[in-house]
Structures are given as C-alpha cells and as structure tokens.
Amino acid sequence: MTDAPAASQVRKIRMRPRLAQLMAEKSGGMYVAEALKRADATLETLREPSLTGIDELIIALDALLAAEAGAEPAARIEGLYQLAANIVGLCGAERNVAVQVAARSLCELLDEADGLSPSILAGVKVHIASIKLLHRAADNPALQGPILQGLASVLEKGRAESKAQG
C-alpha cells in the first residue's frame, strides 16, 4: 500500500469581468464598437437631409448676394454671415472637411470686413463659388488644397484691406 497523496485536481473558475456585469445590469448597455456602429448608422440617415440643407443655403447665399445690392451693407454682411455659419453647422454630413473650412473662411472674411467694398464682394463670390465646388465632392486633398489655399489668400487680402482702411 502506498501512502502517496491523491492527485490534486485543478479547478478553473472563470470570473466575469466587472464591466460585463455592469453592462448586463444596466438596460441599454453596449460596447463602444456597437455604439459607434449605431452612431454611424444614425449619421447616415441624417446625411442626405443635411447635404440638401447645404444646397439650399448655397442658393440662399447666391440670392442674397444678387438681390440685395441696394441693401444696407451691415444687414447684408450679417445675412451672408448667418448663412455661412449655418453651412458650418451642417458640415458634419460632408465626407470631407473642405466645405467647413471654406464656410469658416467666409465667416472670417465677413466678420472682419468693415463694409462691402468691391474687393470684399469679390472675395465673398470666390468663397461661394469654392463652397459650390467642394460641396458633395469626394475627399481629394490634391484638388481641395489649392482651392483652400486660394481662399486663405483672399482672406489675407481682405484683412490687409481692412487694416489699410482702419
């Protein structure tokens, strides 16, 4: 007879992570990947209405620029600024940031303008034309870069004109 100890048996107890327990206890809990997937799906449903909203704001910019040539410059600047700011607000639907950069640049140009001199109006027209080109376009930095650099130059020219007048 041998007095050898009986072989011990290893028992593995798998503990459920605390995070998993908390998520199970909370109704509606989900993993980050699932939350991001749902957020993307929600954004996709809002994408086309937002892009259509930008289309309408671009039309309104053109109309305001054309129709109110005799209007008070301060009111006209404010109207153009508000429309450009609204475009910035809808730019989350764009597949690139170029439209947002262009609309922000237009806001800066209008915000810093003392009036609507011919060169400021020309700058506004260039910004609106650029927003039209960039809107709904594919994300292509090679094509967007020169446009955005041109807008930066227009903005600097407007700033220089404002300093010269002031």
pLDDT digits (tens, 9 = 90+) for 154-163: 999 888 887 7
Alpha carbons within 13 A on the beta-carbon side of 162: 17
Would you say residue 12 lies in a domain? no
Both tokens of residue 117?
A: 């001199």
In a domain, 46, yes or no: no
DSSP-assigned states of every residue in 55-119: HHHHHHHHHHHHHTTTS-HHHHHHHHHHHHHHHHHHGGGSSSSHHHHHHHHHHHHHHH-SS--HH
Q: Which residues contact 73 (CB under 8 A, 6 or more apart)?
A: 115, 116
How many domains in the chain? Answer: 1
Which pLDDT score is estimated for 87? 96
**Is residue 35 a part of any domain in this protein?**
no
Please check whether residue 97 lies inside any domain of the structure: yes
Q: Note whether residue 88 is domain-resident.
A: yes
What is the structure's pLDDT at 39?
84
Q: Tell me, yes or no, whether 126 lies in a domain.
A: yes
Q: What pLDDT digit, counting tens, does each position of 7-34 carry?
A: 777 777 776 677 666 666 666 667 788 8
Q: Is residue 3 part of a domain?
A: no
pTM: 0.76
Integer angstrom CA distances of residue 164 from 19, 74, 116, 125, 154: 62, 19, 15, 22, 15
pLDDT in tens, 63-114: 998 875 667 888 889 999 999 999 999 998 787 899 999 999 999 999 998 8
Domain span at 159: 52-165
CATH of the domain at 149: 1.20.120
Instruction: Tell whether the model's pLDDT for residue 1 goes beyond 60.
Output: no
Assigned domain for 105 exists: yes
- Arithmetic mean of pLDDT over the chain: 86
* CA 35 distance to own-chain centroid: 21
